[in-house]
Amino acid sequence: MARYIMEEMPDLQKTGKRITYPRFARIDNASLKELAQRVSDVSGFNVGDIEGVLLQTAIEMAHLMAEGRSVKIDGIGTFTPSLTLGRDKEREDPEEGGKHRNAQSIFIGGVNFRVDRTMISNISERCRLERAPWKRQRSSKKFTPEQRLALAIKYLDENPFLTVWEYRKLTGLLQTAATNELRKWGHQPDSGIGIAGRGAHRVYIKKEIAEQDQNSMRNDLKNYEK
């Protein structure tokens, strides 16, 4: 039996409306060994053989996608590689005589996945839901956005980088709200916070801004602490 909770969406547009949506509660990862054991239980194939086939499948998928091809697995979905420019590389100028990017400045940025409708159907048929007994969590309103930014800047004064997890502990925000707010700070030129790394390895670092702006942020935090 799977459990769900109703999560409150962050009010990024400042409308004052509270919107909730359902999501699975406490999702964990099934390991390769567990998956192989389940396949073995219903097929009779050896667990070790199944693990080996799955691992080799992943390697062969990588080879195919390295050739610029998508990989479709019936009943699961389609995997498509995507490209990105290297860090600190300027975008190509489409105008005649403009700067062009060569292959050395382009890298694999990720893999997009489009699920097969059969997989969605199979999940829906087997899924039995009950509401989780615990109450939904809400992001803390202890700090204003400006004070949260000041907390992040203060943290980066003393540490080389800031993760979403650490930002959650600093501010009391939930995962989605903390991720969205840090991403906003990271793309705001005068926030004092920059982005390093990609995907699961993304962290936030200190970015130099005008000294008076940094002092203003620290004063915001001091005023709150008083």
The whole-angstrom separation of Cα 146 and Cα 44 is 60
User: Tell me: the pLDDT tens digits for 72-102?
Assistant: 999 999 999 998 877 665 666 566 665 666 6
Sheet with 129-131: strands ordered across: 20-24, 2-8, 129-131
One DSSP character per residue, 118-177 reads HHHHHHHHH--EEE-SSPPP----SS-HHHHHHHHHHHHHHSS-B-HHHHHHHH---HHH
Per-residue tokens: 55: 């691992």
Query: Is the domain defined by 145-206 classed in CATH 1.10.10.10?
Result: yes
Can you tell me the distance from the alpha carbon of 112 to that of 26, in angstroms, rounded to the nearest whole number? Answer: 24
First-residue to last-residue Cα distance in the chain: 49
Q: Which helix (H) or strand (E) holds 71?
A: strand 71-73
Q: Which ranges in the chain are annotated with CATH 4.10.520.10?
A: 28-92+100-128
Verdict on whether the full-model pTM lies above 0.85: no
C-alpha distances in Å from residue 76, one per residue of 79, 107, 148, 182? 10, 26, 41, 33
What is the location of CATH 1.10.10.10 in the chain? 145-206
State in words which class domain 28-92+100-128 has.
few secondary structures
- Digits of tens for pLDDT over the chain (226 positions)? 898 888 777 666 667 677 788 888 877 789 999 999 999 999 989 999 999 999 999 999 999 999 999 999 999 999 999 988 776 656 665 666 656 666 777 888 889 999 999 999 999 999 999 998 866 666 667 888 889 999 999 999 989 899 998 998 888 888 888 888 999 988 888 888 988 877 777 889 988 643 444 455 455 555 655 5
